[in-house]
Chains A and B, each alone.
Chain A
Amino acid sequence: IQMTQSPSSLSASVGDRVTITCQASQDISNFLNWYQQKPGKAPTLLMYDAIILETGVPSRFSGSGSGTHFIFTISSLQPEDFATYFCQQYDNPPYTFGQGTKLDIK
């Protein structure tokens, strides 16, 4: 299953609303994770089952979609949100990742 994530990079300002999309090459139901990764660190899970916020993750993060089209949204960017974001499907192995979206400060 191929995961096509867009955009690959994004410049935004604190307070902006940003959206990242992930398209699966076939129906993966809701078997999708979203991760955040900061430089030199391991990824951290933000959302699972496409729409469920992991415990402790701020509510400004949200996800939607099912089947093949998924959207990840940050409603109001905070300084600590500038990082790289990845989607990942876990419908069937291999559990493929999107290419990543690098979010930086405008």
Chain B
Amino acid sequence: EVQLVESGGGLVQPGGSLRLSCTDSGFSFSSYWMHWVRQAPGKGLVWLSRINSDGSSTSYADSVKGRFTISRDNAKNTLYLQMSSLRAEDTAMYYCVRDSTTVVMTYWGQGTPVTVSS
């Protein structure tokens, strides 16, 4: 069973930074592309970023480009999202999502909440 567990969320002041982590307890983490998606309270889903299996290629939504950085450590089965210059509008639940062998964005973690407020 695929299990993705996010951590690192919390309360941060505007302009601050935070690093989210997502650990995959399964096997073959290094084989799959990974994504981050967020959902503001009561709102819809927003795709933020993706990274390929070996970490050599990344893509970002315009809303976070230059502020957020996705990365991964395949030896630790862990995905990261480094967030900087945080704004109130970045307040959301942040989900990591994994592809399967044949399907994009199949498996979701339970999310970690981020609140940007003074």
Contact = CB atoms under 8 A, between A and B. Distances in A.
A18 to B, nearest CB: 19
A54 B103 CA distance: 9
Contacts of A100: 44-45
Given A42-B110, A95-B50, A90 B105 contact: yes
A104 to B, nearest CB: 15
Interface stretch (A9-17, A43-51, A61-69, A73-81): A43-51
A86 interface: yes
B103 A45 contact: yes
Nearest to A41: B110
Contact of B44 (A33, A45, A99): A99
- Give the contact-size bracket for chain B: 20 to 34
30 contacts: A33-B103, A42-B108, A42-B110, A42-B111, A43-B45, A43-B95, A44-B108, A48-B103, A49-B103, A54-B103, A54-B106, A86-B44, A88-B105, A90-B105, A93-B59, A93-B60, A93-B61, A94-B47, A94-B59, A94-B61, A95-B35, A95-B50, A95-B104, A95-B105, A96-B47, A97-B45, A97-B46, A97-B47, A99-B44, A100-B45
Nearest to B4: A42
Interface residues of A, number: 23
A82 to B, nearest CB: 17
B105 A45 contact: yes
A97 B103 contact: no
A95 B105 CA distance: 10
A89 to B, nearest CB: 10
Contacts of A49: 103
A43 B110 CA distance: 9
A72 to B, nearest CB: 15
Contacts of A94: 47, 59-62
